[in-house]
Structure 1
Amino acid sequence: MRFEPELAMAEDDARRVALLDWAESHDVGALWSADDARWATQQARAEGAGDFRLARARHAARRLGERDDRLSELLARRLWSASWAWAALAVGLALGLGLDRLGGQQLNLLALPLWGVLGLQLVAYVVLLALAFTRPRHPAKEGLALRLWKRRLTPGTRGRAGQALAHWLQLSAPLQAARAALLWHLGLLGLNLGLIAGLYLRALGLEILIGWESTYLDAAQVQRLADVLLAPAAWLTGLAVPDVGPLRHGALQGAKALAADWLHLLAATVALVALPRLLLVLGAGLRSGRLARALPLPVGSGPSDLRLLVVDPQRRLAGSLLGEAGERLSSPEGDRLLVTLADTAPQTAPAPWPARALALLGASPAPTPVFDVCVAADSLPAATPGWPAQRRQLRALGPLWPPARQPAWQRLLEAWEAPLREREAQAQQLMAQALADLCLQPVHLPAGTEPHAQLQKAVAQQLQLLAEKLQQLYGHDAATGTAPSSGDRWPHQVVLPRPVVRNSVLGGAIAGAATGLGADLAAGGLTLGAGALIGAVAGGVAGSGLTDWLNRRQGRRTASLHIELADAAPLLAGEVLGIWLAQLGLRLPSAQVQAALGASDWVAALRGDAADVQLRLRQRLAQACDALLRDADVAAST
């Protein structure tokens, strides 16, 4: 399906785009390959400024010209010159001067060649006017003038260059038709000017006589005919139509009177007939100039462009991916999704007759674009914040594309979803890290603080930190607001450090008693308790050191809060997912979130090496995220 793109371009740029379209829509062998198409796309994307299609065509034209000199020469060749317009005018003028001599010095009022020329032009005007009241002209239809124009441009061009030129002429048919029409109307305008000039130039050096003769008409009938035909000229010049009675002559007698007044009336009649031709010349000139500066080409920038018309009078999709006009998606292969917004669906009824009449003068607007898909905004999923809603809208478009457009659509959808999948993997890694910190990292409990409040404060800080990281990751795609935490529901236990003093005293007493008893037994009671004293000191030091070592090893140097994994891990996972859902703009009931989490064994995932814990948590969170997105899609479709 062909269509008119929104962007119009200058003729030189349009020729490059048409050359690339020819190379990508025809079998050109090694001249242009899929690797070349990707290279041109990458080069155009790297520029990052201007129109992607023009930049891509510019790079492609350079490479094609390097591989085939004839294509480079074709791009450098001028296909239009203003001198051709002057030449057409001059040829018409010469024909008019020569045609006027066919009447000789003695003019027969009823058999002037001038009447035939003027009559044919009037018939042509009637035909053009009749066409204006019928269906509008399609810009790609070729008339006789356009076919002749193409033959003028294509001689001497063979091979690939000839095929590329024919492709350009076909795509630029509106421009070529306007130029062919301009030359045609200029030639006929010159013909009329030549007729007027011939009437007066011949009368300057010759005596022009006029009369009439007829087998069937009498003087009264000829007078009425002359009054009708020359009435506009008489009104314009202020001259009365002379009496034709004295001008009648026999077959062998010749004209009767000088033709001075008649020449004025005839010249004025030709001028009046030439006036619409002048308007047609101006219209064709304006149209050809406008198209040369801004020519809409029915081609894409790559293998295919997809044209989507979204009828959204209430701006229901405002702010979403499909709620803005222009290029919305692109693929590395050069495919593009072009969105056009409209308040009403395009009308298929014929254009009103004034528009069709103006089309003859080149003043009509561009043809109504043809779209691959036309969809109403109210038939698409709601435009809620976040990329899940955008994904639902794009997936809803999938079945609507014609079969020939499905491959391009799949490439566009894959190009859009690939970075999203990578970003979601990063988000899941951040959530896994936050969940591991929440579940496994003890919360310091200062003396005199309330455990529930301290735990809620610590978890709120972790969730806020996660929200900030996700906000930074999603950027403008993130929604505002975070999920509230409920720290008072999380089962936990308070872990106090082992008492160093008590263990030192107890260890010293036991060690002292044991040491003193051993010394007394060994010395036969002669130590008098010194052994017990020494043992007590050594036991106290050893007990203190051992207690401190155990506290450090077990993280019990200060009072802390530890999460009960079996009961609190699913709840904390729900809080983490709530932060993620809030960033996406999804609002799902907490029961639905917990249902998505219930199928996973979070306690088993949180045990083991730290790297393994991160991997297992990430896998379980990925499963939960997919389940929640499916639930959100189902809820949005009901």
Structure 2
Amino acid sequence: MEDGILHLDEASARQLVLVRAIEDADPQGKLLSAVEREQLEREALASSHPTANGGIDFARYLQQRARRMLAAVENRNPRIAALQDPDPWRGWVLAALPVAACLLGAAIDRIDNPQQVNMLSPPLLGVLAWNLAVYVLLLVGTLVPTRWGTRAPLAAAQRWMAGIPGHGRRTGRLRTDVLARFHGHWTQVAGAQEALWWKQLLHLSAAGWALGLAFSIVLGGVVREYRVGWESTLLDLGQVHAFLSVLFAPVVLLLPFEAFSAADLQRMAFRSGAAVAAGEAARWVWMYVALLALVVVLPRVLLAAWSAWRRRRLARAVRIDLRDAYYVQVLARVSPARITLGMVGEGPARDVLLRLLHEVADHPRPRDGSAWTVLATAKGDVLRLFQVPPGFHPPAPAVTAQAGGPGAAQAWLQDLLGRFRAAPRPQERDAVQSTLAETDLMLLLPASIGDLQASARLLHWVAQPTLVLAPGDEEHHRSAAQRLALAADVLPLADCTAHWMRDARLLEAVAARLPPSKRAGFERLSATWSDRHAVRFGEAMRLLAAELVRAARDVEEVGSSAVGLRHLVNAAERDAAQRARDGARVALLQRLRDGEAAVVAELVQLHRSGTPVAPLPAARVQGGFEEQQVVDTPQAGMAGAATGAAMGAGIDLITGGLTLGAATALGAMIGGGAAYVAAAWKNRSTPSGQPLVQLGDELLETVTENLLLAYLSVAHRRVPEGDAQGPAAWRSEVVASVAARRNELAATWQQARQAADPAASVAAVARELEAVARGLLARL
């Protein structure tokens, strides 16, 4: 393989082209799904032997891939897989058409008249003239590009014989569509040998036709007596003698035939009336047969043999251009891509971009200024970032011209030509120039339009696509880039770097500007990038959910005595109980604050931001507690008994003492027992026997708002100078989003309080938080 050209035998080349046709005609994956194709590609890659330097043997990989895919297709549609074999009609056409031409020529039992052979017979002279004209065209054709022969009539005839619809037409029949695309791709790959096949067929057919004419003349002479002579109204004897001398010169020179004189021709004129002997007539018949053999049959057979030899020779080394977009994409799926981004810029925008990369990076940024390997995939794809030093200047001399003036384009061209003339030799390049020579895309982060203009010369020198991340009005930056003749695309910095859900726009913009050979590798890098963000987002939501579940399950003992009759009559007892409750609430709030602070610290560490987050606001956390009081069971029983006895005494009075006090006793028993059981049932939620305080749903909703706001503060990458939004402006959005899912969250908190294992509750709360957080990120 040289210069991206792969040479394969015809069978292997047909397999590659057929697989391409199948993938073009079957984008929905009816024959092979994307999953199956990826599996077959992995198997083909595993069976391909690596090259001496450890790379991929592209030739072997493509052949293994094509064979495996066609084997899978054969199990589902053998007729499509059979297209890898040569067209079955070629063999019989190549044999039958020359034979048919020979029989057609032999069936003609006369040249001009069945009883005579005219030396100036138009049909015979026409056959000779046509073949001589073909030889002239073939000679001229050697000066015409060879691709000329692969177009129009022959290709159209081949498509018609194969039953292929016109170009660009889809029939809805998979095999027909595959065949049409296979024919088109194969004509591009093997057009020269296809043209040679048609030339071979035409040469053999012409030889067969001339041979049939010779048979016709000979067979006519067997069954009848020819009168051989000539006649002409416009030509005299001298002209006829000169013409026939030139016409029969090859026969006279190469074969044992005697030359003829003008006197012989004068005697053989039909109008002379002289008798021509049978032997002399036979001599002229054989001269015409020899002329057909020398001028038509033999050259055509030799040309057919030459075309067949050349076709077989080309079939042993069919050229497959791996630089074609299809093969670039196929090989890119298995070839590791090394992508280097150059960054130009300082200030807050640079910090935002570096933080964005730090979140997904495998390793921290090197301090020596070398290229930073940000990300790598399992297939060996590498994403690197190189920050151009602020004081670096390209080696070409500066060419000054007013931006946007009439001489701007000329100045840019002079600068470009000047830097090529002044480009240093490879051994003289320093590390910066060497790294810039490897860049695939430049990222420009200007603080103002002036920075864009100041970097224009460097970007022209690098001569790679540029992506401008504009901190302000993108239209102004786009206009400036056009004035400076920069091949740059402009994106708003905030829209593509604000948080991890906005990274997709930046990645899409980078992918669109990369060379096609590296896009598949960058897609794998982007997938790894997105996976890491998804894992980080899930971990962040689990952290928030775990804190919420802990807060929902957290309780604090009040430390006061059970509620009894003393609390009703003793103000000091009531004050002491209230102070105990306040102390329990303070303890709960302190643990809540500590938990929130720990979560924020873990979020900062998880996002590798290093950005300090302001303390969470204390608003709306002073109320919303739930208390579980403990009732003095004996006193409750006594109070219940007294109440029941009073009710029973009332019944005794109504009956006039007929119950003999039984109602009073029974009422005391029932009331006391019921009160005792109710108090015991209420106290069972506090096994310690102490009153408890815990966070209520309203307070947990506030904690949820605070934690989500903390997450947004950590996950959001902001440029302080140009950021008009922030946590204070986001609170209303957060409050509304949490309120919209209040019922769902309340159900999860209730489940968390009652569950023996909090793990399931953490997962349920995390799912709710993910839904809320995604909606917030999409809007903020």
Task: State TM-score, norm by structure 1.
Answer: 0.47
Structure of higher CA gyration radius: 2
